[in-house]
Amino acid sequence: MAVNATYPGEYIREIPSGVRTIIGVATSVAAFVGRARVGPVDVPVTINDYSGFERIFGGLWQHGAMSYAVRDFFRNGGGQAVVIRVYRPETGGGGAPRALAVLDVNGLALVAASPGAWGNSLRVRVDKNVKQTVLDLYGLERGQVFNLAIRDLDRGIDEYHRNLTSADSPRRVDRVLQNQSNLVRTRPGVELQVPGEHSTPAPGRDPWSNAHSTHVIAENKASDGAVLTSAEILGSEAASSGMFALDKVDVFNLLCIPPYLADGNIEYQAVIPAAARYCERRRAVLLIDSPSEWADKDRAKQGISAIGTASKNASVFFPRLLQPNPLRSNRIERFASCGAVAGVIARTDGQRGVWKAPSGTDAALVGAAGLDVSLTDADIGELDPLGINCLRPLPTAGFAVWGARTLQRGDRLGSEWKYLPVRRLILFIEDSLYRGTRWAVAEPNDETLWSQLRFHVASFMHDLFRRGVFHGKTPNQAYFVKCDRETTTRYHIDRGVVNVLVGFAPLNPAGFVLIKIQQSTASSPLESRAPGPTTSLQVQSNTESNHREVRSVP
């Protein structure tokens, strides 16, 4: 804004620098879709540790593989997760169990806050110990204002809501419970009533006994629902349910759909293709658990084509983990690996960056007591080119991830996206530039805008180059940014389009390290210092795009 000079003297004007720094997006936010014991349904909930999952979704649950996957994610270094609970009501006519437990609290109809049998353990007490000042404030008489005490007996959670009314007021019971309670809601479609007061127990007596509180009677009890199907997992895009509830989330990078069927699998042909397409749209990666039928290397080779996708945004991991189950006296059982692998990826991103392959001796699996299939080096050599990422035991690291391929069928398709770190790097760059250049919308499409875009994008790419992300010794070898009259012609300008061309040389992971040792007895000037035969060590790192040799002679 121009300064209005009205008198002789000095004027100061602050001028914006015009610098719009492009910030790299998060790379390891994991989304989980599955069955949980408690919690909101078809609502994405962000949690930052496993205690948050226990508080909102009830912790480990024998009928929900997702609970174990989320635990393994945080146990292996995960930092942030988005959890979507899905629920399938039981059917079978009028006698089918309810989804929500119902309580008739002395005339006030309440229901559990979320579906599931957990609501059957709820207890509610009503008292009317209300101060006269509150009655005067609301203009009500004594008896029309009440307090609700609520307890979940199984989890030991208590709530106490004061000064509630059934009349229209700032403390109307349905609004207060909707906004403040994690345990109950008023029953929809039922008129609000002022409940009667519960009797006060004698000293030393349990106030939550049936005589002094309201409990869920047999005909009002709820069930944990039926076994899920692909319909509940995928949900509806129009209703933002199931997997599509992630549309409400700004960013996620890894998608895990742990086994939800009774046999420990998912409906691969129905779920995986749709989930992979969704991940491609959202710039995320789908982590797939191998089917439980993959009992050996040969079945894995035969079954990879039945996974349902060859997406560049999907990776499959084999075999499954053996871990103690705390809900069954720590008996060793088989568990899906997607949560643990997602945690390893998050840990690797934090320590090294998204461009580092989440595999190798640093990719140890915390909490694993074993693997349900033992693979040899030869077995891994057959599976890796097919795009099957193997988990294996290591003498010093316990059990580790030993592969980082996408489902672009490994070497068969010759895809440039066959390596997981390369694919995740381009997704990171795409999303960062997409979000970091939104300011350019509606700006004048001329050389000034082009130079600004070149500067900001090049600054972002150069920062990555300095961190060793790209192949090449100089910036010119590592990346380029082009935005000028060659990329944006008059044709594009007339249609309101500006084109920015960005290219980079990624670092492929060193999948094969070849060591050759040769013994030589020929005379050498070094013999006077090191008598006897000398040993020549040649190390060749095969990165497909870079070959280097190092020789050392002791």
For 195-236, the pLDDT digits (tens) are: 999 999 888 899 999 999 999 999 999 999 999 999 999 999
Please compute the mean of the pLDDT values over residues 119-123 and round it to a whole number.
96
Residues found in the chain: 554
What domains are there in the chain, each with its CATH number? 29-88+227-422 (3.40.50.11780), 102-220 (2.60.40.4290), 442-499 (no CATH), 512-552 (no CATH)
Residue 515 has pLDDT above 60, yes or no: no
Tokens describing residue 213: 């509180």
Sign of the CA dihedral running 324, 263, 409, 309: negative
- Host H or E run for residue 7: none
Please compute the mean of the pLDDT values over residues 120-131 and round it to a whole number.
95
- CB contact at 8 A, 252 and 246: yes
Position 340 scores a pLDDT of 98
Position 3 scores a pLDDT of 75
- CB contact at 8 A, 298 and 368: no
Least confident of 66-75, 76-85, 239-248, 483-492: 483-492
Tokens describing residue 148: 């609700």
Residue 394 has pLDDT above 70, yes or no: yes
Burial of 519 (0-12, 13-18, 19+ CB in 10 A): exposed
Residue 58 has pLDDT above 60, yes or no: yes
Going by pLDDT thresholds of 50, 70 and 90, the confidence category of residue 534 is: very low
pLDDT digits (tens, 9 = 90+) for 459-476: 999 999 999 999 999 999
Mean pLDDT in the chain?
89
Position 44 scores a pLDDT of 98
The rounded distance, in Å, linking the Cα atoms of 392 and 328 is 26
- CB contact at 8 A, 258 and 32: yes
The rounded distance, in Å, linking the Cα atoms of 463 and 432 is 13
The rounded distance, in Å, linking the Cα atoms of 483 and 453 is 7
Q: Render 368-422 in DSSP notation, one character per residue.
A: --EESS---HHHHHHHGGGTEEEEEEETTTEEEEE--B-TTTTTTTT-TT-BHHH
The rounded distance, in Å, linking the Cα atoms of 209 and 215 is 9
Collapse the DSSP code of 70 into the 3-class scheme (helix H, G, I; strand E, B; otherwise coil) and give the result.
Answer: helix
Position 521 scores a pLDDT of 55
The rounded distance, in Å, linking the Cα atoms of 56 and 33 is 15
Please compute the mean of the pLDDT values over residues 148-157 and round it to a whole number.
95
Please compute the mean of the pLDDT values over residues 529-542 and round it to a whole number.
36
Nearest to 254 by CA among 419, 385, 413, 428: 428
pLDDT digits (tens, 9 = 90+) for 422-446: 999 999 999 999 999 999 998 999 9
Provide the percentage of residues in the chain whose pLDDT is more than 70. Answer: 90
Residue 154 has pLDDT above 90, yes or no: yes
The rounded distance, in Å, linking the Cα atoms of 175 and 181 is 10
Find the helix packing angle between 338-351 and 65-75, rounded to 10°: 20
Residue 59 has pLDDT above 80, yes or no: yes
Position 117 scores a pLDDT of 95
Nearest to 433 by CA among 356, 501, 350: 501
Nearest to 540 by CA among 514, 517, 519: 514
C-alpha count within 13 angstroms, C-beta hemisphere, residue 274: 18
Sign of the CA dihedral running 373, 377, 383, 387: positive
Please compute the mean of the pLDDT values over residues 292-309 and round it to a whole number.
93
Please compute the mean of the pLDDT values over residues 266-291 and round it to a whole number.
97
Diameter of the chain measured on Cα atoms: 110
Position 525 scores a pLDDT of 46
Residue 509 has pLDDT above 90, yes or no: no
Going by pLDDT thresholds of 50, 70 and 90, the confidence category of residue 552 is: very low
Position 157 scores a pLDDT of 94
- CB contact at 8 A, 465 and 429: no
pLDDT digits (tens, 9 = 90+) for 316-374: 999 999 999 999 999 999 999 999 999 999 999 999 999 999 999 999 999 999 999 99
Q: Render 139-158 in DSSP notation, one character per residue.
A: T--TTSEEEEEEEETTTTEE
Residue 20 has pLDDT above 50, yes or no: yes
Position 545 scores a pLDDT of 38
Position 268 scores a pLDDT of 96
Residue 505 has pLDDT above 50, yes or no: yes
Going by pLDDT thresholds of 50, 70 and 90, the confidence category of residue 512 is: low
Nearest to 192 by CA among 144, 137, 139: 144
Residue 93 has pLDDT above 70, yes or no: no
Position 11 scores a pLDDT of 85
pTM (two decimals): 0.88
